[in-house]
Structure 1
């Protein structure tokens, strides 16, 4: 065999050898672990007891109605605060109210929570946190009213901590058909439908 033929065969063999090495596989150790993650949102569930706080007829100026009711947190998350939104409609029975609004003659007194609710109205010794007629209340935003009521201490057990999950807070109000000492005959036979909407807000997010 000539030198050229031997050299050519040698080169061919070298190239083939490189090809075999380049196309081979290597074994190595390995281990795999999977991370299974769950994110479950909590719930806010505000319960009002009783739902109908006032149902009174045959009212006259000077009548007043003390009531207690309970806000219960039936959810899994703590409630930071409860906002109150007021709206009402007046049924003008005779159509002669003109620019007079019955809501301006219905006054709401929010009473400071002191002690057990069953004794709140045993006597007239109670602290009025806020005193607004229905028209005034309806003009507050829920946030504005919350500032005024919380500063006055309408919440007792949970004034600072809101209402924890599974907890409840008793509130009391006194509504009066104010006798202003003037002629209020235009309101005879009228009725007023009051809606109080309570909205629970969560606490601020935290590191978990």
Structure 2
């Protein structure tokens, strides 16, 4: 056999050996399992019943108005706090109010959460007490147990659990200043209370 044939046969054998090494297959056992996983978020759904808390006409200085409403958690998640924001606008009938703000003369004598009252009735769980002008823009928590914070006891913890509701009572007063308040005759004040429900802290599931 000539040298060229021997060299060619050697190269072919080498190539075949490399291909067998590189293209070889190995048998092994295998078992695949598939899991089906779901992530579903809960819902925050706060309702106020009734949606109009007060609608009164023919007020005069000294009048007081008691009203009741409910905060209802219709969602699937617990609520940690409900922040109350106050805003209002005044329609000046005569146009001579000057620097006087009708909101200075309409006062919330109390806004209290009855469900958060403690085992004793005094002090009551008052959320806020101030003139509308002082409340404007503020954000007190309407479902906080103030008594629990002071004394460490109470009928309910702060917050509003899913499916639960709280009874709130409010008294408005057209404050009699003891002086003529004729500039407010015929005036109208439109009050907007916004209740902002906040979720509880995240937890290990």
TM-score, normalised by the number of residues in structure 1: 0.81
Which residue pairs with 1:146 in the alignment? 141
1:35 positional shift: 3.4
**Matched residues, number:** 194
1:181 equivalent to 2:178? Answer yes
Aligned partners of 2:165, 2:115: CA distance in 1, in Å?
14
Structure 1: tracts of 5 or more residues without a match: 117-124
Label 1:101 to 1:6 Cα distance change in 2 as closer, same or farther (>3 A): closer
Aligned partners of 2:145, 2:26: CA distance in 1, in Å?
74
1:24 positional shift: 2.5
Which residue pairs with 2:134 in the alignment? 136
Instruction: Tell me the alpha carbon deviations over residues 25-78 of structure 1, each in whole angstroms, 9 at most, x when there is no partner.
Output: 222211222333221111100010000010000000111111110000000100
**Superposition pairs of residues 100-179 of structure 1, within 5 angstroms:** 100-114=100-114, 127=124, 129=126, 130-140=128-138, 142=139, 145-146=140-141, 150=144, 152-153=146-147, 157-160=155-158, 162-179=159-176
1:146 partner SS: coil
TM-score, normalised by the number of residues in structure 2: 0.82
Contact 2:72 2:166 in 1 (8 A): yes
Label 1:59 to 1:153 Cα distance change in 2 as closer, same or farther (>3 A): farther
Which residue pairs with 2:47 in the alignment? 47
Contact 1:113 1:153 in 2 (8 A): no
Label 1:44 to 1:194 Cα distance change in 2 as closer, same or farther (>3 A): same
1:16 positional shift: 4.6
What is the RMSD computed on CA atoms of the aligned residues? 2.9
Contact 2:80 2:160 in 1 (8 A): yes
Which residue pairs with 1:203 in the alignment? 200
Aligned partners of 1:34, 1:206: CA distance in 2, in Å?
27
Instruction: Tell me the alpha carbon deviations over residues 93-130 of structure 1, each in whole angstroms, 9 at most, x when there is no partner.
Output: 000100011110001022444479xxxxxxxx984723
1:139 positional shift: 4.2
Aligned partners of 1:131, 1:183: CA distance in 2, in Å?
24
Which residue pairs with 1:122 in the alignment? none
Label 1:114 to 1:5 Cα distance change in 2 as closer, same or farther (>3 A): closer
1:21 equivalent to 2:16? Answer no
Structure 1 runs (4+) greater than 2 angstroms displaced: 4-14, 33-37, 109-116, 125-130, 149-154, 156-160
Structure 2: tracts of 5 or more residues without a match: 117-121, 149-153
